[in-house]
Structure 1
């Protein structure tokens, strides 16, 4: 693939390979991004003496960024110019620190520099988003919804998740462990055998991204000790990304329910996953879920029913 570039000095159009055009665009973006971030940081913000005089350049000069980041002035100039130089994560982090980049800006710098960005982090100012997330899953009623942390620990769930999926306080509150050990959920899940392989493959993918994380190891130890079926599936080493999963449930009050679960992430809270269940056009599922969430359906759920 080629891209038509502006005419050269002879007035003729130049044809540039797409990859070269992409690199050129990225270099331009890197230069403009670093210059704009430098302009935001005053010498006083960076701990340098203001000097009292008027500066030609707003914010920090290139040389000042280089000194504060512990790199050579020429190297930083080449970085800002988008030259083809070797860039390490440690140096990019030093530049990001000097320029006071947010986590999103830091990852953007990595991308513009042609380096794999680090994993997103929780923004300190957005660490407490629970009220907003609670409103989100409650608004999803009468359909089930819940929120998990990276280890599949259930952070919160709406009433429909309790009525339909059997989520309740007296379980382990870990979605992986409960999938394999909760007899109530097992009795309602008509698609358990088919979905078990997917659940394990997705959890292995999450573990592989953070192999030294003790939180994953603790969950693995617990579910492995409790479920031979999990151990057998784990030994197959399947890997699968998070996505949509079809679930067929046999509810004791309304019979068959067919839903599709979708895992979603909020960039500001990369440590959480929102799992929304949507009714499919089968078995009159939407109407049944609405009835279960109604006062009449809730009264029916108060009485013990097998399963």
Structure 2
């Protein structure tokens, strides 16, 4: 009996959710005559939703009643379209109907606000390096510390994995390159396997195989690791040794992006050195050309 309780709650929520979404869509929104004063139902009637979605009236009534009926993604998408559901609401409908939700999508009018908020987020991480990358490890945003410490700058590919293997500045600064190379490739292979039909991953791998024998050798090992934390040691031309813990975190607001935060470890006075580098004195020192 206890196992039926969650299912009953889900069906009850499905009924309430569909009724509330149906009530907010006017006939005019759906391209229907409003019926004037004779219309008593707020929003669309069940029968109207069924016709507009191309499903049977009885089937839609059973769906809204939370009955145990079979549903398909195509039908749920039709209902979502008629009810003018947002991407988040569409995913919620899938969950309430007992199906795996589709990949999250971002409303076009929210993308700019989210990107501006993400830039504020990584700027607030100063004086420590932070950057945002997409699914294919392309750098989307970075803060000033990522530029002065990690070497992110115009004129390079701006792909974290490609630059890891091919950027001479990063290679010259990274003391932990050999230790981290296998992990970095294994994590990228795990991301590739999670989306086997996505050509974007294959394009990055193909570019690296043509540019780096070291990548090719590690790629052919077929090691797999989940994204997580990596210890990084950098040899900065002004600051000397810097020790970080690099953490990769997915962003629920933008599932196509990840934030990479570099937290200073309690070694080599890393935090103090970075605070000096971000000071007016440190910024003046960083203006002069540096080897590496």
In the superposition, the TM-score normalised over structure 1's length comes to: 0.88
Q: Which residue does 1:65 correspond to in 2?
A: 49
1:220 Cα deviation from its structure 2 partner: 1.6
Does residue 1:301 correspond to 2:289, yes or no?
Answer: no
* CA distance in 1: counterparts of 2:39 and 2:253, whole angstroms: 36
- Provide the C-alpha distance between the structure 2 equivalents of 1:243 and 1:295, rounded to a whole number of angstroms: 34
Structure 1 position 35, deviation (Å) = 1.0
- Alignment match of 1:40 (pick from 15, 20, 24): 24
* Aligned-partner SS, 2:172: helix
Residue deviations 1:155-207 (CA, integer Å, cap 9, x gap): 22111011111111121111110011112212222222232222222222332
Kindly indicate whether residue 222 of structure 2 is the aligned counterpart of residue 237 of structure 1.
yes
The DSSP-based 3-state class of the residue aligned with 2:36 is coil
Partner of residue 282 from structure 1, selected from 267, 270, 278: 267
> Counterpart of 2:107?
123
Q: CA deviation at 1:119?
A: 0.7
Over the residues paired in the alignment, what is the CA RMSD in angstroms? 1.8
Structure 2: give runs of 5+ residues left out of the alignment. Answer: none
Find the counterpart in structure 1 of residue 234 from structure 2.
249
Secondary structure of residue in 2 paired with 1:92: helix
The residue that corresponds to 1:209 in the other structure is 194
Q: Secondary structure at the match of 2:258?
A: strand
The answer (yes or no) to whether the contact 1:172–1:178 under 8 Å persists in 2 is yes
1:101-124 CA-partner distances (Å, limit 9, x unpaired) = 000000111111111111111211
Alignment of 1:215-226 (within 5 A): 215-226=200-211
CA displacement 1:54-79 (0-9 Å, x = unmatched): 43321111111111111111211221
- Deviation per residue, 1:228-276 (Å, 9 max, x gap): 2212222233333333222222222222212122223443433322222
Q: How many residues align?
A: 291
Instruction: State TM-score, norm by structure 2.
Output: 0.92
Q: Who is 1:109 aligned against?
A: 93
